[in-house]
Amino acid sequence: MNLLLLGRRTAMGVLAALLLVAGFWASWGTAQHVMLGDSRERGTMRVARCTSDACVGPYTPSSAGFQPRERVVIDRSIAEKKGVRIPVAVKPGTSEVVRTGGPGFLHAWLPLGGALLLSAVVVAGGLRLPRTAWALALAGGTLLTASFATLAF
């Protein structure tokens, strides 16, 4: 019986850790462009047109050495209207941009917020650690709420 309990706790611990690592990894693809600004191309994008999944517009770099672009693409998850200028960072080698600043930072970490919520369920149910589960759920919920609030308003 003790061996089954140990096996269940080990499996649930590995599952919770896997969820957190996957959430971090999914977030890092975008977050690195927002957080690491050493030699990254940054500037502003003017929203010209939006479709159901993306917005496009011209890009103006904020520092010398980079060229303006006629068309860059950003995910539709932004809540901006036509003509609004938003700060962005260009993904190297592409015409894709990600939002920078506080809203961009929070939006980049959305997958981690979801992973925190999912791992809270695993920790509560599988590991029987309710306080840890509440802390994970509170952190994930706060991250998701803050991201929504900064991008929607």
Q: What is the mean pLDDT of each run of 10 residues along the chain (153 residues)?
A: 91 97 96 84 92 91 89 81 90 92 92 97 95 98 93 72
Within a domain: 2 = no
Give the H or E element holding residue 47: none
Q: So what's the pLDDT on residue 153?
A: 65
Q: Which residue has the tokens 């890009």?
A: 59
In a domain, 92, yes or no: yes
**Residue 64: per-residue pLDDT:** 80
Q: Say if 4 falls within a structural domain.
A: no
Residue 122 in any domain: the answer is yes
| Closest to 149 in 3D by CA, of 96, 107, 88 | 107
The pLDDT value recorded for residue 145 is 95
Total residue length of the chain = 153
Q: What are the structure tokens assigned to 11, written together?
A: 């499996």
Predicted pLDDT at 132? 97
The verdict on residue 118 lying in a domain is: yes
How far is Cα 109 from Cα 126, in angstroms, rounded to an integer? 25
In whole angstroms, give the CA distance from residue 33 to residue 104: 10
- Owning domain of residue 31: 13-152
Ramachandran area for residue 83 (φ above 0: left; ψ -120 to 50: alpha; else beta): left
pLDDT at site 61: 94
Domain total of the chain: 1
Residue 6 lies in a domain: no
**Assigned domain for 123 exists:** yes
pLDDT score, position 38: 72
Up-side HSE of residue 69: CA atoms within 13 Å toward CB? 25
Q: Decide: 116 and 22 in contact? Cβ < 8 Å.
A: no
pLDDT at residue 142 in the model? 97
Backbone angles phi, psi at 62, to 5 degrees: -95, -10
Q: Measuring CA to CA, which residue among 148, 137, 79, 80 is closest to residue 110?
A: 148
Whole-number pLDDT of residue 79: 64
Task: Check residue 78 and give its pLDDT.
Answer: 65
Answer for the pair 43, 66: CB distance below 8 angstroms, yes or no. Answer: yes
3 state DSSP class of 31: helix
Residue 94 lies in a domain: yes
